Amino acid sequence: MPTVDDVAQAAGVSRQTVSNVLNSPEIVREATRQRVLEAISSLGYRPHASARRLRTRKSATIGVRIDPWRDGISGAVLDRFLHKLTEHADARGLRVMVFSAADPDDELARIRRLREGSDVDAFVLTATTHGDERIRALTEQGVPFVAFGRPWDPETSAVRHRWVDVDGRAGVAGAVRHLREQGARRVGWIGWPHGSGTGDERRAGWEAACGVDADARAALARHVEDGVTEGSRAAAELLALPEPPDAIVCASDSLALGAMIAARTAGRPALPVVGFDDTPVAAAVGLSSIEQPLDDVVAAALDLLFGPAGDDVRPNPSSDEEPTDRLLAPRLVERRPGHLALDAIPGT
């Protein structure tokens, strides 16, 4: 039986390139791909059952890491993502296996084991970071995967791979513009400390759309760790300014819930506050929030991995110009400040 090494030698490419041709053909240059396919054909090489199952989409199984449970409102977005992934996968006859991992190295080790046992055919990475080591490692190993999260630096951007992300910058800019159209003139910002790709993008959206000068931007922005108490403290500071904000946009619903409570405490229950992720708590307390379109994210991720829904086989892109990524627009879910309408409740 010929092996991957035989194919690699015959085609004059690395073992990894053969694996890429089998598992991620669209990331391989057309000429190389043809040479490898000819070697496979002439040698009579039969790829691994799992790779074959993946290509024919017969009961393929997708693996996804579940993070350890944390107390925190913002973790809800990845739980929601998992719900959506499971629903979309079921509808396509795909299966979803979940696993835990202590850190990126552990995640890579678990992915290796799940691949060796042919239990899982493709993976979804979540929460990509600066210098994300998983992207190069999985690409080099020829493991089919799609990332929910874009590459955040030149190194990972240089690795051609599949990813889907949500344009947080556009989402925040849209919310800020909407608040200004509603009459806000000084929109404040409560975000995270610099350095997280996601947080910096969201802040950039506020900067681009807030329409005030650099001095006012410096006065109207706070950068704190994620949390309700942190958000309320930052909002209280902003509201105590000589020229306080007349609306506040936040990088998360945790921060926004804190800002909402601080606004009530400061006697400004109608202050518009906008969070991010539209978590259950935002819906529950009547907080406006920027919603990631997770149905679209999941559909795009599965399309990139397996081809459009309804296809029986994976498409074979004719060149490496075929897009391998999708950046989707979030939308503002607007709720009336004071939605709980406590003032209207008898007896209060």
- x/- track of binding to its own copies for residues 322-341 (CB under 8 A): -----------------xxx
Q: Which residues make beta-bridge pairs with 327?
A: 165
Nearest of 199, 246, 266, 261 to residue 226 by alpha carbon = 199
Among 168, 191, 227, 330, binds its own copies (CB under 8 A): 227
| In contact, 18 and 4? CB cutoff 8 Å | yes
Distance between CA 225 and CA 230 in Å, rounded? 7
Identify the sign of the CA torsion 199, 202, 207, 211: negative
**For residues 122 and 281, which CB has a smaller minimum distance to its own copies in the complex?**
281
Site membership for its own copies, residue 1 (CB under 8 A)? no
Among 68, 195, 242, 323, binds its own copies (CB under 8 A): 68
Site membership for its own copies, residue 225 (CB under 8 A)? no
Which two structure tokens, joined as six digits, stand for 56? 């024919």
Minimum CB distance to its own copies, residue 209 (Å): 26
Site membership for its own copies, residue 177 (CB under 8 A)? no
Applying CB under 8 A, which part among 43-51, 200-208, 234-242, 313-321 lies near its own copies?
Answer: 234-242
CA distances from 120 to 140, 144, 172 (A): 18, 10, 37
**At 325, which helix (H) or strand (E)?**
strand 325-328
Minimum CB distance to its own copies, residue 134 (Å): 18
- x/- track of binding to its own copies for residues 81-110 (CB under 8 A): -xxx-xx--x----xxxxxx---------x
**For residues 47 and 99, which CB has a smaller minimum distance to its own copies in the complex?**
99
Phi-psi region of 7 (alpha: psi -120 to 50; beta: other; left: phi over 0): alpha
Helix locations, 142-268, DSSP H: 154-157, 168-181, 197-209, 214-220, 228-239, 253-265
Site membership for its own copies, residue 50 (CB under 8 A)? no
| DSSP for 283-308, written as a single string | HHHT-EEEEP-HHHHHHHHHHHHH-S
- Name which of residues 245 to 284 contact its own copies (CB under 8 A): 254, 257-258, 261-262, 264-266, 280-281, 283-284
Distance between CA 152 and CA 198 in Å, rounded? 9
Minimum CB distance to its own copies, residue 110 (Å): 8
**For residues 3 and 265, which CB has a smaller minimum distance to its own copies in the complex?**
265
Site membership for its own copies, residue 111 (CB under 8 A)? no
Q: How many residues bind its own copies (CB under 8 A)?
A: 61
| DSSP for 126-160, written as a single string | ES--TT-HHHHHHHHTT--EEEES---SHHHHTS-
Among 92, 160, 217, 233, binds its own copies (CB under 8 A): 233
In the block, residue with structure tokens 């086989």: 313
Minimum CB distance to its own copies, residue 176 (Å): 24
**For residues 53 and 180, which CB has a smaller minimum distance to its own copies in the complex?**
53
Site membership for its own copies, residue 242 (CB under 8 A)? no
Q: For binding to its own copies (CB under 8 A), which residues are involved?
A: 59, 61, 66-73, 75-76, 79-80, 82-84, 86-87, 90, 95-100, 110, 117, 119, 227-229, 232-233, 236-237, 239-240, 254, 257-258, 261-262, 264-266, 280-281, 283-286, 339-343, 345-348
